[in-house]
Structure 1
Amino acid sequence: MRIETGVNLQDCNTFGLPAVAATLVHIEEAADVRRVVDHPELGRSPKFILGGGSNIVFTRDLAATVLKVEIRGLRIVEERADAVIVEAGAGERWHDLVAWTLDQGLGGLENLALIPGTVGAAPVQNIGAYGLELADRFDSLDAVDLVSGRAITLDRMRCRFGYRDSVFKQDLAGKSVITRVRLRLPRPWRPVLEYLDLQRKCEDAGFIEGRLPSARQVFDWVCEIRRAKLPDPAVIGNAGSFFKNPVVTPEQCRDIIARDPHLVHYPMADGQFKLAAGWLIDACGWKGKSVGAAGVYERQALVLVNRGGARGGEVMTLARAIQESVYGRFGIRLEPEPIVI
């Protein structure tokens, strides 16, 4: 366990927003969490858990003790007839895990390529992209309780996954540190190609019914699609998709289509419809606009960016203006994906 004081977190969040942590603890193994709990000073202080910082908007300095999760390790845990179970340390980069599974000849995570952040943060958000969610491949995880220091293991049911949601954003928010995550990669593997952009890639590459792309091919396509639409946080600060895609009733969807026939919407299994938040924002004329040094990305209206020197307050002022604009035109309230501190 390594402890630092007065640490600037600007390089620890992909938005590149300034914030100072009074105390930062580097968590390199599960035992470090128990050491924090047992520490005479750190144990009593409020805690804030930090992974890759890809889903956070800092608007102030942090008085809470910041636990930066850096637990590493990738391994195959079990090979069964119907699945392979792989395990990753919570501090591993998510994309590195996806690439590693492919190097082992294992498909199943390729649709989730290039999602920024760490493995430990993935279940918190129930990350998802291109027709797949983490919950679809989840097996179990290990965590440490921040009150008792007790190790716990949670299966899929106990994680209570929802759309960009989990028990770690509800009852267990800030109460436990995820240390290791296990994923179930199915056998036999079949590609998930329901997403329109992937279907177009299949057609362009000459794949027809009965002839399917490999997991590596889907991975490459997803990387190409994401790079064409989303900015690299290493080049321009951002937290990826800033707003959740809203879910509405069939009646609400029909009402909006009556006024805006080009509405981008997707039917869901429960009869409701998911609307493309990026389309709603673009329709309100926000693409490329800025508030101070915070702006809306020119290629994808769903992404807010740091144009250089932005502060968290500017990002949230822009976000609230977008929310008000979308609500005024469509009667839909957009909900931010990142955690706002």
Structure 2
Amino acid sequence: MQMQENFSLKPYNTFGVDAKARYFTEVHSTEELIEALNYSKTSTLPLLFLGGGSNILLTKDFDGLAIQLDLKGIHEDFISENEVLVTAKSGENWHEFVMFCLNKNYGGLENLSLIPGNVGTSPMQNIGAYGTEIKDTFVSCTVLNLENLQLETFNLEQCRFGYRDSVFKQEGKGKYVILEVTLNYKKSPIQ
């Protein structure tokens, strides 16, 4: 893990605000994330998690540790000839993930293309557009419990999705970091 001090967050927020973080690190694995969390705990630093930067407005410098979640990877598990589970790490760009699925003829979330942000934030607010929401194909998400640093899995029911809402915006707020999301797609026949 590489720690940087007095780091500009301008490239990490879509408004381009040049606020600075006292400390900053990009994490590329769960192990690096745990290392950063342990550092913040020992140094008693407040935390700021950054995804795609589209749902944050920085108004001043941050006197703590900003963690950019840059977990990457997409994995496919074929259930049948016409059905596939696709798991994407939280740092994958949402639109690029939707395009990956469309290019493979996986149908279900095509209405959600062009939504800004990363895969990891999609369950937080049950993103949606044009009558489709992530809950429509959601299977599960793997999270890191920030209290005990253990991995947990939340299924569709446990996420308690509502209109632009989930357990992660309610009683789970600030308690978990979403590491990956698994969705169920139907494979469309090639026309």
Q: TM-score scaled to structure 1, two decimals?
A: 0.52
Matched-pair contact (CA < 8 Å) for 1:108–1:215: no
State how far apart, in whole Å, the 1-side matches of 2:93 and 2:180 are.
12
Matched-pair contact (CA < 8 Å) for 1:33–1:149: no
* Counterpart residue number, 1:53: 53
Q: After superposition, where does 1:9-158 map in structure 2 within 5 Å? A: 9-39=9-39, 41=41, 44-80=44-80, 83-158=83-158
**How far does residue 123 in structure 1 lie from its aligned partner after superposition?**
0.9
Q: TM-score scaled to structure 2, two decimals?
A: 0.90
Alignment: residue pair count: 191
Matched-pair contact (CA < 8 Å) for 1:102–1:215: no
Matched-pair contact (CA < 8 Å) for 1:36–1:43: no
State how far apart, in whole Å, the 2-side matches of 1:215 and 1:164 are.
33
Secondary structure of 2:124's counterpart equals helix
- Quote the RMSD (CA, aligned, Å): 2.2
**How far does residue 45 in structure 1 lie from its aligned partner after superposition?**
2.4
Aligned-pair identity in percent equals 38
Matched-pair contact (CA < 8 Å) for 2:98–2:113: yes
Larger relative contact order (CA 8 Å, sep ≥ 6): 2
Matched-pair contact (CA < 8 Å) for 2:40–2:46: no
Which entry has the higher C-alpha Rg, 1 or 2?
Answer: 1
**How far does residue 18 in structure 1 lie from its aligned partner after superposition?**
2.6
1:166 aligns with 2:171: no
Secondary structure of 2:107's counterpart equals coil
1:106 counterpart letter in structure 2: Y
State how far apart, in whole Å, the 2-side matches of 1:154 and 1:27 are.
22
Matched-pair contact (CA < 8 Å) for 1:145–1:177: yes
State how far apart, in whole Å, the 2-side matches of 1:159 and 1:182 are.
13
**How far does residue 33 in structure 1 lie from its aligned partner after superposition?**
2.1
* Counterpart residue number, 2:7: 7
- Structure 2 unmatched ranges of 5 or more: none
State how far apart, in whole Å, the 1-side matches of 2:17 and 2:116 are.
16
**How far does residue 87 in structure 1 lie from its aligned partner after superposition?**
0.6
Structure (1 or 2) with the greater strand fraction? 2
Runs of 4 or more consecutive aligned structure 1 residues displaced over 4 Å after TM superposition: 40-43
1:152 counterpart letter in structure 2: E
State how far apart, in whole Å, the 1-side matches of 2:76 and 2:108 are.
14
State how far apart, in whole Å, the 2-side matches of 1:42 and 1:83 are.
46
1:32 counterpart letter in structure 2: E
